[in-house]
Structure 1
Amino acid sequence: MSQYTAIATATGRDGRAFSSDGKLNVELALQKELGGTGDGTNPEQLFAAGYAACFATSMQMVARTKKVDVSGMSVTAEVGLVPNGQGGFQLEVALRTKLPESVPRDVGRELIEATHQVCPYSNATRGNIPVELLTE
């Protein structure tokens, strides 16, 4: 049984997306790069924000268990929309994690790899789309 279920409705790329509790209500617009106006957000930006937030939270959890202080860390998700060669598109992701300078590089890499194993977004995308793990 689910501990939490998010519910959101969208009317299309040129429309709105909103959550059942009213906390999310955004205008959507097709990106300029795809021939749209670009006057609203898009599914790729929403996915990037969700993945970055989820990975950062998962990193904090993993770091706590390993007794590593990652205060001030951040995660930036770059979500690309690329042709799949069959007339459609697929996603590709680069996750850029910026850790405090106090975290040794090898420890940081271990944290990132461990986080990638527990993050719900990473678990959902594994084997479905390419995800590159980068550090800054």
Structure 2
Amino acid sequence: MTILYSTKVTATGGRKGTIRSEDGILDLKLAIPKELGGVGGATNPEQLFAGGYAACFENALLRVARQSGHRFADGDVEVVAEIGLSRNEADAFVLHATLAVSIAGVDQATAEQLVRDADAICPYSNAIRGNVDVAKTVVAL
């Protein structure tokens, strides 16, 4: 398999530390959210995952839309990813995900098909399939 892109990010200090990409573009402080007993005030791994998943899924959706003859303006498609953290029966931490997708200019059936097609090619969806529960809502506007 040919790798199309690769990046490295170094984490130090865990959830109360920092992350920095090898090129320095990503350079962030991390904090434990108040909801988990931390002080908050900085990003956390769940927010970063949600942002990456939302952006990646939207890009996959735009790609499958173009391939099926649909063109959307920037504001026509919105993907909101919500990442939740809980514990399972073994007291291990597990993630949950919700994708809320809104698409303007198509009917509901078309919107749902585009989301299914995007889910099939999105690297985040493929990485977590079978490991993370993902609920999806689709609204055609």
TM-score (norm 2): 0.92
1:74 aligns with 2:78: yes
1:131 aligns with 2:110: no
Kept after mapping to 2: 8 A contact 1:79/1:94 = yes
Quick one: distance in 2 between partners of 1:69 and 1:78?
Answer: 26
Quick one: distance in 1 between partners of 2:60 and 2:40?
Answer: 31
Tell me how far 1:70 sits from its aligned partner. Answer: 2.9
- Provide structure 2 residue ranges, at least 5 long, that are not aligned to the other structure: none
The Cα RMSD (Å) is 0.9
Identity %: 43
* Counterpart position of 1:9: 10
- C-alpha deviations, 1:28-58, integer Å up to 9, x for none? 0011111100121000000000000000110
Displacement over 3 Å in runs of 4+: none
Tell me how far 1:69 sits from its aligned partner. Answer: 2.4
Tell me how far 1:74 sits from its aligned partner. Answer: 1.2
Q: Which amino acid aligns with 1:22?
A: G
Moved more, 48-57 or 69-78: 69-78
Tell me how far 1:116 sits from its aligned partner. Answer: 0.4
1:97 aligns with 2:98: no
1:58 to 52, 57, 60: 60
- Provide structure 1 residue ranges, at least 5 long, that are not aligned to the other structure: none
Quick one: distance in 1 between partners of 2:92 and 2:33?
Answer: 16
Q: Give the SS at the match of 2:82.
A: strand
Aligned residues: 135
Tell me how far 1:65 sits from its aligned partner. Answer: 0.4
1:32 to 31, 34, 49: 34
Quick one: distance in 1 between partners of 2:32 and 2:15?
Answer: 5
